[in-house]
């Protein structure tokens, strides 16, 4: 697989693949905040052909297949993450409806037919992408007329506050350290303004049909009361649904 020169954090996610598979499904920010909201926005997937863009350890791909998606393309630039996705789907009756591929989203999606996808879902992935315009252009080509893109990513304003950026509007490569059960892992990602995210959609003829900054639910409070209060006053992630016109 060709790794694009602008790609970041590959080594980090290769290292964390088993951690994602074994632990992230039970983390409050994922299990009781990001996933319930993103799946709600995606809605009914029965009979749909879906691209899971940045599939990590395969939770979303498994969810779509369990809910009767016609076909799911699960892609990630981490070979180890693809192996974890394969392990998650192993011996399941719907495994044959999944197409798994180690693939860098910064490259053209040349293995997917144009105008063939009903839905593209990208969970907490696009902040690792430097050039959103290019990625949205590639997504647009693969979606059917009326198809939709649904994604979550770091909220631009929270990144601005947490990393004490001097200029909110400047795209910046950030280095952060995640404390995990396998030790500290350094991760890089890009921060950018909300206007840059939205402009990349508009220039590629997407229409925004939903934009949310949701509150955590009661289950989040029960498992992570320490962070619950801050979640009520500071936006953590942003969720966007956009459709092709």
The per-residue pLDDT for range 186-207, each reduced to its tens digit, is 999 999 999 999 999 999 999 9
In 59-115 the beta strands, taken as DSSP E runs, fall at: 71-76, 98-102
pLDDT per position as a tens digit, 8-40: 999 999 999 999 999 999 999 999 999 999 999
133, 211 contact by CB (below 8 A): no
Strands annotated E in the chain: 49-53, 71-76, 98-102, 117-123, 143-154, 172-180, 183-191, 206-212, 237-244
Which two three-digit tokens encode residue 97?
A: 């409806």
Is 156:197 a contact under the CB 8 Å cutoff? yes
Does pTM surpass 0.75? Answer: yes
Torsion angles phi and psi, residue 55, rounded to 5: -75, -15
SS3 of 108, please? coil
In this prediction, residue 1 carries a pLDDT of 63
Other C-beta atoms lying within 10 Å of the C-beta of residue 138: 19
Query: Domains of the chain by range and CATH?
Result: 10-155+194-244 (3.40.50.150)
CB 38 within 8 A of CB 210: no
Residue 3's pLDDT band (cuts 50, 70, 90): confident
Question: What is the C-alpha separation between 224 and 213, in angstroms, rounded?
Answer: 19
Q: 183-191 and 98-102: which strand pairing?
A: unpaired
- Report the chain's mean pLDDT, rounded to a whole number: 95
Mean predicted confidence (pLDDT) in 209-234: 92
Q: Which of 244, 245, 237 is nearest to 211 (CA)?
A: 237
Say what the pLDDT of residue 217 is. Answer: 85
Torsion angles phi and psi, residue 180, rounded to 5: -125, 175
Q: How far apart are CA 177 and CA 185, in angstroms?
A: 6
Q: Work out the number of other CB atoms within 10 angstroms of the CB of residue 96.
A: 10
Banded model confidence at residue 4, pLDDT cuts 50, 70, 90: confident
**What residues are paired with 173 via a beta bridge?**
190
Torsion of CA 220, 85, 60, 25, to 10 degrees: -10
CB 54 within 8 A of CB 17: no
């Amino acid at each position: 697989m060709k790794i694009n020169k602008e790609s970041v954090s590959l080594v980090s996610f290769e290292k964390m693949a088993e951690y994602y598979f074994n632990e992230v499904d039970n983390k409050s920010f994922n299990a009781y905040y990001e996933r319930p909201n993103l799946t709600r926005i995606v809605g009914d997937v029965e009979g749909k052909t879906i691209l899971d863009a940045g599939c990590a350890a395969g939770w979303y791909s498994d969810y779509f297949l369990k809910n009767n998606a016609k076909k799911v393309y699960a892609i990630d630039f981490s070979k180890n993450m693809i192996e974890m996705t394969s392990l998650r789907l192993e011996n399941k009756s719907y495994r044959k409806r999944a197409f798994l591929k180690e693939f860098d989203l910064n490259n053209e999606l040349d293995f997917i037919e144009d105008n063939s996808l009903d839905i593209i879902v990208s969970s907490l992935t696009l902040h690792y992408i430097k050039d959103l315009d290019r990625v949205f252009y590639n997504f647009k080509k693969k979606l059917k007329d009326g198809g939709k893109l649904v994604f979550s990513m770091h909220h631009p304003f929270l990144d601005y506050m947490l990393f004490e950026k001097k200029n909110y509007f400047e795209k910046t490569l950030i280095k952060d350290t995640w404390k995990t059960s396998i030790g500290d892992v350094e991760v890089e990602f890009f921060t950018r303004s909300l206007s840059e995210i939205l402009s990349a959609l508009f220039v590629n003829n997407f229409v925004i049909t939903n934009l949310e900054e949701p509150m955590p639910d009661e289950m989040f409070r029960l498992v992570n009361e320490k962070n619950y209060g801050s979640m009520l006053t500071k936006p953590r992630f942003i969720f966007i649904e956009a459709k092709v016109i």
